[in-house]
Structure 1
């Protein structure tokens, strides 16, 4: 019985490790050690508010730095804790980080993934749709008409 449980745990750990590998040339920021399936979710459930837990991970006794990589379940996540790091990502490299994950539910609800401005990836179509929305739909005159 113990051998079977150990085999299942080893299998799950190897599956979790394989799912976290990045393609060649990509480097994921370092972070605390993660569990195979839930990732870093147990580390965030400490009873303290999430922002304090993340601040402790970034600047606490282990000090993973202002840019830290976490796995929330099977989703790799990058956490920025400093003003300079946030400015670098949000101003300099904003188009790289503007893409959103593809959800199949969005295909079903919005008749195609790229038809929802909130959920679509950064493409020329998204830029055009946002321009149309801000110049045509969300003007003061249109809002008064509605």
Structure 2
């Protein structure tokens, strides 16, 4: 090619920069939409259940839940005796009951009253602790 032909070739740099900027903007917008959607979902769940997911992690640590269960977001909760609580709300049953927030609260505080043959102990959580943990499991796992 001659020097003159090389000078006339358009630069791809502006096009690449424009596409890169568009991809970055789309990524940021998608992230914001996902975060807002998660926040709205959690707010709706918290209002319906009456629990505070922020109080749940200390309650689960204090009550030793992670000794038997793997619980996402709970430090040290890597137990393998009981089932993982990842996605627990997507299951059809909690213990022997249809999966509902009320069934979850009953199960996590008084499992042996629900099913005397279960390995899950009665934890005797306060009603508020049961609400907090249920809100956490519904909103964050």
Q: Same fold (TM over 0.5)?
A: no
Larger Rg: 2
Q: Which has the higher contact order (CA 8 A, sep 6+)?
A: 2
TM-score by length of structure 1 reads 0.28
Higher strand share goes to which structure?
A: 1
TM-score w.r.t. the length of structure 2 is: 0.29
